[in-house]
Structure 1
């Protein structure tokens, strides 16, 4: 084989494309790899201008003059280059990304052209684009993530500052979204998030930007704002779109959202401050009842700080033994005797003292703290009941414990209850778990299975706050329940509102037909007591007999055999701090 043939064989054996050009930029040599990548024959390529094979063009698509094209201008001055952001064209006009190196061909010091070696880097570019997408976009909704959004927010601020106008940052959170994941599953939750992202995007203008910051929190920038009314209209539309029904398999659900708004430059000129203020306004919207929006006000920061400190303190409270239980007696209307107690969570803060349940229970519910704290309540209440029984205080005294929605739907709740009973060595029938009406109706089949397993242990089941939900008689017959607790909303105006009287009488009659016991909550007056007794209600609890009390005071009530007197004159209603845990 001749030396020339050997050289040709070597050049054709490499997987890199090789093209030689003359000083006019025309191809004088191409190897087989170059022909293959460009999908052209040697005959078609020889004599062709290199700038017509590469993306060396003006914005209007016309080829650059030879002296302006990067690949030619360099070698003409005796310089080499390596480039990884170029495109080359195939015969059919399609392009592909290449990485190439170009070096001048010199003969006795004279430049006669250049040799160009290149590789198709399509796979690498796809991988880079995928990594960029993963780093900057939310995989579920395809919206920009926090990282990309902050960059876009920075750009939006720069544009707003340059044009001397205003922009708004909106932080939007779905109200009680976790309940969807817990009751219908994460697949349903993911579907809702995808639909929400589409609905929000449909409300925005071309100049606006949206991102998913975290699980159910979205952020939106509204640019080119000339008047506050523009913000009102857009945010109202956002909330209205989200409040429309979501159609899932076998389910139609409704959710709402809360939004907070901060305005540049009025509410801050730095990203962190704008974001913090928008979040503070969003929390204020939630406090005001959800399904609304709030513009930032200076005083909101103090409340946000207090909320943060409260949550931080709550996360330490369990380990520091700051939680305790109070017990509200439950009284039999036939004998007037205490037959049970509802365990209610209290928090003894080292600096704030006894914190109202209304101030910290919602925070527990909104975080995962409700799970360990709820387990502690169940365990402590059962152990306390065991101590009472061991000390001869109420042999058949029943202890009632609320289960939060998040506790009840969590896998393993049945095993948790079983272990707590075993550890406390307490008879299962002396424990009653209370579940709200809304909780049991979220996922009927799962609820029935869990309640059957709990009931099979011998543990009693009560539906709490009955009457304010949407359960039907048909469903009640399917649930293995023992007790209905009439919500205090019906008891409060019992003797002055005919509708409440009718509803309460109906609940009692329905319970008797289903052979269920009935407890009326929130009984505060003797008139309420007498009405309930005449109606046939089995049990009551409320301030008329006793508010929730610490363990030592509850023990004293048992030791003194404190009973309900039906001759007692009506007591004045008292403001209560009642807020049931779990």
Structure 2
């Protein structure tokens, strides 16, 4: 009998391993059905306790109870309105077996197994049998073990939901962030969607003056009040996003022509310009708004946003407090883009780009564990350009694959040279891989050819892919990663925590490491939310036996906090900036970088 119960618990555990928010109810019902059949009871259900409203929430049941009403009266039961066994489940932390006699001389048996989260009852599993059923101690223990699995699942789903919310929302205002905006616009601009799609780019005028007059926090308070006003006065279906600082983008849910969008911009301008009370003072800011309109299937997201950005720049250049609609004349402002595109192709084809390398250190010793290859471009007229200046152009002009191949070959050539001179015998070379490369059918073969040419073993190279890319084309990504694993190349998920990869993705994909996104590390030690997120990522890495690297370590307190969280690998300006290969050689010869966590660094764009 005990073996059967052990198999039952193992079976439920396997069912729940791959559950995410979208499959939670379906797979929970399947697990409950298995419990019901195994114990021979008539009903099994899972409920969560919401202690804020003192209610029990029905999550799943087997079989489903049909009441013929919507909502089901059993969906939410308030503890204040009930008594007896269900009321006790609000706080009970121990399994309970109940035998109730009915007025007709019959009886019913219940087994309540709580979902324990720390010192709280997070919910419970209940098994109901119409008749007398003495649940044995082994059966009670097995049911409690299953309840513990559901408690872990509940915590995991909540953590994933929090990560998703953090990744798609602005932490100051709670509005959508850039990532959420882009995804929304991608959907709105797909062929067949209703159009035109209007985009209003909002930029507050002279917010710095308000900070200078009322203090630095005044700007944040003003922006928060403005965000709430927009939420209250706009259509709830509209996309309202904060891009950062004093910039917002609104994409109305209803199709709008240019004239209607301009009228809507005038309404928003008036709304934003109304006074806000801060610290006893009533203040206001004027606003500049850029308007652009795109047609689904004809205009890309980047084009519409760039046009709106150009339009708001025109409004601010004209003195601010105005509305500017994107026109054909503004297209001349794309001259810089065209210039960059022309010279970038030449730079890639003529091997005139260069690589800098950012060391990755062991925070305990300063030992250099890896270096990340970062491309730079010595532009013929504009000087040294960082990737943020030209990577977008490369992707938009189908140069990303060619650029990526150049980076891999150049980095491996440099790596082989260092190894030949005995400078990088136990070093890992990290190389960023673009989405274009990852889905290329010949990518693995080309990598294998480069490694063989430079006599580099696969495990000493690690390709970094962003979390967003992982879920873009999961099937193709899986094939590529499996191919890389066969030739020994490591893979790390970069910017982890900002995308949508679930635990099931981590379980399915062949990856070796996670790199915590710098947005969660920058304020580590001073922001409790970031602390919670990083702590959960550390736990995930340990659970899946993955290496973990923290990016963007710029403060001593962040470095010390990472050590306390048992995350020892890190990179960032506090440890070392990206540097040319000759300076890397000096550090490699020394073997380590002296660490001093008593002072922070001044940060500039990479």
Change (3 A) 1:508 1:320: same
| Equivalent position to 1:531, from 556, 561, 572 | 561
For the structure 1 residues 560 and 302, does the alpha-carbon distance in structure 2 shift closer, same or farther, using more than 3 Å as the test? farther
Task: Measure the CA separation in 2 of the matches of 1:226 and 1:414.
Answer: 51
Which among 522, 525, 541 is matched to residue 511 of structure 1?
Answer: 541
* Deviation for aligned residue 1:283: 7.0
Match of 1:337 in 2: 367
Contact 1:486–1:520 (Cα < 8 Å) also in 2: yes
* 2:384 corresponding residue in structure 1: 354
User: Judging changes above 3 Å, is the alpha-carbon distance between structure 1 residues 302 and 201 closer, same or farther for their aligned structure 2 residues?
Assistant: closer
Does 2:569 correspond to 1:572? no
Tell me the distance in 2 between the aligned counterparts of 1:227 and 1:561: 60
In the alignment, the residues of structure 1 paired with residue 459 and residue 382 of structure 2 have an alpha-carbon distance, to the nearest angstrom, of 38
Would the aligned equivalents of 2:497 and 2:517 in 1 still touch at CA under 8 Å?
yes
Deviations 1:28-78 (CA, angstroms, capped at 9, x unpaired): xxxxxxxxxxxxxxxxxxxxxxxxxxxxxxxxxxxxxxxxxxxxxxxxxxx
Could you tell me how far 1:232 is from its partner in structure 2? 8.9
Q: Which of residues 386, 402, 407 is equivalent to 2:432?
A: 402
The one of 493, 502, 507 aligned to 2:523: 493
Q: CA deviation at 1:334?
A: 4.1
Determine which structure has more spread, i.e. the larger CA radius of gyration. 1
Aligned match of 2:310: 284
- Cα offset for 1:237? 11
Structure 2 residue 255 is matched with structure 1 residue 229 = no
1:433 paired with 2:453, answer no
Cα 1:526–1:315 change in 2 (3 A) is: same
Q: Assess, with a 3 A threshold, how the Cα gap between structure 1 residues 436 and 259 changes in structure 2: closer, same or farther.
A: closer
Q: CA deviation at 1:570?
A: 2.8
Residue deviations 1:220-256 (CA, integer Å, cap 9, x gap): 9989x799539999x99976x959xxxxxxxxxxx95
* 2:195 aligned residue: 200
Change (3 A) 1:425 1:464: same
Residue 524 of structure 2 aligns to a residue whose secondary structure is: coil
Work out the CA distance in 2 between the residues paired with 1:562 and 1:297: 55
- Scaled by the length of structure 2, the TM-score of the pair is 0.50
Cα distance in 2, alignment partners of residues 511 and 474 from structure 1: 13
Q: Secondary structure at the match of 1:351?
A: coil
Distance in 1, Cα, partners of 2:197 & 2:523:
46
**How does 1:174-213 map onto structure 2 within 5 Å?**
194-196=191-193, 199-200=194-195
RMSD of aligned Cα (Å): 3.8
Contact 2:291 2:324 in 1 (8 A): no
SS in 2 for 1:318: helix
Match runs of 1:344-423 below 5 Å: 344-423=374-453
Measure the CA separation in 2 of the matches of 1:500 and 1:452. Answer: 32
Q: Distance in 2 between matches of 1:316 and 1:365?
A: 15
Q: CA deviation at 1:295?
A: 1.6
Distance apart, 1:369 and its partner CA: 1.0
The Cα of 1:351 is off from its aligned counterpart by 2.2
Q: 1:285 deviation in Å?
A: 6.7
1:451 maps onto 2:481 in alignment:
yes
Within 1, Cα distance between the matches of 2:292 and 2:310? 19
Q: 1:488 to 1:302 in 2, by over 3 A?
A: same
TM-score normalised by the chain length of structure 1: 0.52
Report the alpha carbon displacement of residue 424 of structure 1 after superposing the two structures with TM: 1.6
SS, match of residue 533 in structure 1: helix
Pair 1:428–1:257, CA change in 2 (3 A): closer
- Inter-partner Cα distance in structure 2 for 1:465 and 1:395: 27
Query: Structure 1 CA distance, aligned partners of 2:182 and 2:440?
Result: 16
Higher mean C-alpha displacement, 531-540 vs 296-305: 296-305
- 1:549 equivalent in structure 2: 579
Matching residue of 2:247: none
Structure 1 residue 469, shift from structure 2 partner: 0.7
Which of residues 330, 347, 352 in structure 2 aligns to 1:322? 352
8 Å Cα contact 1:322-1:349 kept in structure 2:
no
Query: What CA distance in whole angstroms lies between the structure 2 residues aligned with 1:511 and 1:537?
Result: 10
Distance 1:297 1:571, change over 3 A: farther
Shift of 1:390: 0.6
Shift of 1:577: 2.3
In the TM superposition, what is the alpha-carbon distance from 1:410 to its structure 2 partner? 2.3
Counterparts in 2 of 1:571 and 1:237: CA distance versus 1, 3 Å: closer
Q: What is the rounded CA distance, in whole Å, between the counterparts of 1:446 and 1:298 in structure 2?
A: 39
> Secondary structure of the equivalent of 1:455?
helix
SS for the counterpart of 2:535 is helix
Alignment CA distance shift 1:202-1:307 (3 Å): closer
Q: Does 1:465 align with 2:495?
A: yes
Partner SS for 2:349: coil
Report SS of the residue matched to 2:485.
helix
Deviation (angstroms), 1:521? 0.3
Hey, what does 1:474 align to over in structure 2? 504
How far apart are residue 327 of structure 1 and its match? Answer: 0.2
Distance in 2, matches of 1:330 and 1:368, equals 31
CA contact (8 A) 1:358 1:577 kept: no
Q: Separation in 2 of the partners of 1:226 and 1:570?
A: 56
Give the secondary structure class of the aligned counterpart of 1:425.
coil
> Contact conserved, 2:556 with 2:597, CA < 8 A, in 1?
yes
Q: After TM superposition, give the deviation of residue 201 of structure 1 in Å.
A: 7.7
Distance 1:231 1:509 in 2: 46
C-alpha distance 227-443 of structure 1, shift in aligned 2 (>3 A): closer
Q: Whole-Å Cα distance in 1 between the matches of residues 533 and 597 of structure 2?
A: 26
- Pairs aligned (count): 337
> Does the 8 Å CA contact 1:242/1:256 hold for their aligned counterparts?
no
Query: Which whole-Å deviations, capped at 9, do the CAs of 1:496-517 have from their partners, x for residues lacking one?
Result: 1101011111111110111101
**1:457 deviation in Å?**
0.8
Once residues 556 and 231 of structure 1 are traced to their aligned partners in structure 2, the CA distance between those partners, rounded to angstroms, is: 56
Shift of 1:200: 3.3
Shift of 1:192: 8.3
